[in-house]
Copies of this chain bind each other. A is one copy, B any other.
């Protein structure tokens, strides 16, 4: 039976369009019984953006005031794709109005705001979904299965980094990413949060952290080509040691000026019976080692994603065929729809988003104080 889900989108920029594309494709892949997106209303403070999105995506109407989305009687799901610093305000209004909410990551730009949202969502009992799409990656689902089934034995060590070099060029001007009241933090919140979502998904809670940050380019032009330099307020690189509730230790980093790295979200997990390594630049393969394999024949296996790995079969009937980074967003929308129409469980609720944000807060405090800090 077709299940119509009427969408109210707040934020009509690049991310808003990416959400709309995923919302449209979920039906093609999973069928109308899981949900058919109807594009009711889009709001953006920038009128031209709102109009453009309405026309290109096919929303029925538009507004420059996000409260028109919150207050719309015909909206089933408020989809938040605004700049990060507005997530809190819009999500809070949507929850208070009793709406189901789909919020792009991060949940907010501070642990306090995220905590408030998580508590409010729990109280309201609505769907509260944060778009940590990497948890949808069939590779990460596979690794989680290996970890949680005990196939790797007792988990001992997690190492990961998310490195890009998009901000390497010193002449790139200051952006919202460099200003804390807009971004909350630097590489940590932007890139590190993705890695933390995987860590949370696979390893569970982090209990203690000890961090170091570095701003490689402490000043940037005020605008493109400008001679006036202004302060970069947050870290280009963060690296921290941590301890997990499951007994493992970890080292985690994020770096937005990592020369040569484009989308190098890499992690290794070591257990007493096996190990894995994954690198998002080679999205389709997972390195897996089993200590119990015959000594003569053992080695890291290059496992190509295939239909045995959760999510993959939505895209391809056979293994080894490339799926897209954006396909994780489609799987995310499907999980959200399954929650809405079939009451199925989902991992990335606001509590999950809050756990990441409180870890981020502890890391920032540790870096500032140069000491171990308990999470929360």
Q: Which of A's residues lie within 8 Å of B, judged by CB?
A: 14, 20-21, 24-25, 28, 31-32, 56-57, 142, 152-153, 156-157, 159, 161, 164-166, 168, 170, 210, 212, 214, 216, 237, 239-241, 249, 251, 253, 255, 257-264, 270-275, 280-285, 288-291, 293, 295-304, 306, 308-309, 315-327, 370-372
Q: Please state the number of chain copies in the assembly.
A: 4
User: How far, in Å, is A37 (CB) from chain B's closest CB?
Assistant: 13
User: How far, in Å, is A274 (CB) from chain B's closest CB?
Assistant: 6
Instruction: Report Cα–Cα, A372/B366, bound state, in Å.
Output: 12
**What 5 A-B pairs have minimum CB-CB distances, sorted nearest first?**
A262-B320, A260-B289, A324-B324, A263-B320, A283-B322
Contacts A262-B321, A275-B260, A315-B326 given; does A212 touch B214 at CB 8 Å: no
Contact partners of A170 in chain B: CB under 8 A: 272
User: How far, in Å, is A197 (CB) from chain B's closest CB?
Assistant: 17
Q: Which of B152, B237, B309, B325 contacts A322 (CB 8 A)?
A: B325
Identity of the chain B residue whose Cβ is nearest the Cβ of A273 in the assembled complex: B259
User: How far, in Å, is A126 (CB) from chain B's closest CB?
Assistant: 29
Instruction: Report Cα–Cα, A304/B263, bound state, in Å.
Output: 10
User: How far, in Å, is A96 (CB) from chain B's closest CB?
Assistant: 33
Contact across chains for B270 and A259 when beta carbons are under 8 A apart: yes
Contact across chains for B299 and A304 when beta carbons are under 8 A apart: yes
Contact across chains for B14 and A21 when beta carbons are under 8 A apart: no
User: How far, in Å, is A13 (CB) from chain B's closest CB?
Assistant: 12
Contact across chains for B263 and A321 when beta carbons are under 8 A apart: yes
Interface centre among A157, A168, A264, A318 (most CB of B within 10 A): A157
User: How far, in Å, is A2 (CB) from chain B's closest CB?
Assistant: 10
